[in-house]
Amino acid sequence: MSEDHSHWMRHAIEQARKGIASGQSPFGAVVVRAGALVAGGHNEVWKRTDPTAHAEVVCIQNAAKALASIDLAGCVMYTTTEPCPMCASAIHWSKLDAVYCGATIADAETAGFTELTLPIEEVYRIGKSKTKAIRGVLVAECAHLFSEWKAARGRAY
């Protein structure tokens, strides 16, 4: 992976760490456009008492506000873990060009998150989405967030 992809994934990792520090689950995401950070977000399920407040959804909401638009075409997302089907759909609906993923949904399941384990590529294939899903960005660093989270709190949804 290129240095730029690593750079932006590290921003997503920092978002996840902010979430862990505030008692949330270990997921973070950022939206980038033309080499500039648009917005970030981390999981806020417990904070909002909202089971849909996953990092990707929170990040999309923040990006839409920052750009004053629900159309995020021309932007890409970096997320510390492969998105669940709900988040993959939100990424599609917001028209993000691509999503770069760190850890896998299987890693999340191993850590205790009972996501629907439908791979993002399958969600996009079934839905005929134009959004590209790219795996393999800082996988080990992203997967390590689950260990950090377990040491700090360790309670899944």
Q: What is the pLDDT of residues 13-46, one digit of tens each?
A: 999 999 999 999 999 999 999 999 999 999 999 9
Name the band, by pLDDT with cuts 50, 70 and 90, for residue 6.
Answer: very high
- Domain of 145, in residue numbers: 3-152
Among residues 44, 56, 82, 115, the one annotated as catalytic is 56
In a domain, 29, yes or no: yes
Query: Known catalytic residue: 56?
Result: yes
In a domain, 145, yes or no: yes
To the nearest 10 degrees (0 to 180), the angle between helices 120-127 and 85-93 is: 50
Tell me the C-alpha to C-alpha distance, in Å, between residue 31 and each of 43, 75, 131: 15, 6, 14
In a domain, 79, yes or no: yes
Q: How many domains does the chain have?
A: 1
CATH of residue 138: 3.40.140.10
pTM reported for the whole predicted model: 0.95
Q: Which amino acid is at 11?
A: H
Mean pLDDT, range 105-112, rounded to an integer: 91
Q: Which residues pair with 37 in a beta bridge?
A: 32
The answer to whether 101 and 137 are in contact (CB under 8 A) is yes
In a domain, 157, yes or no: no
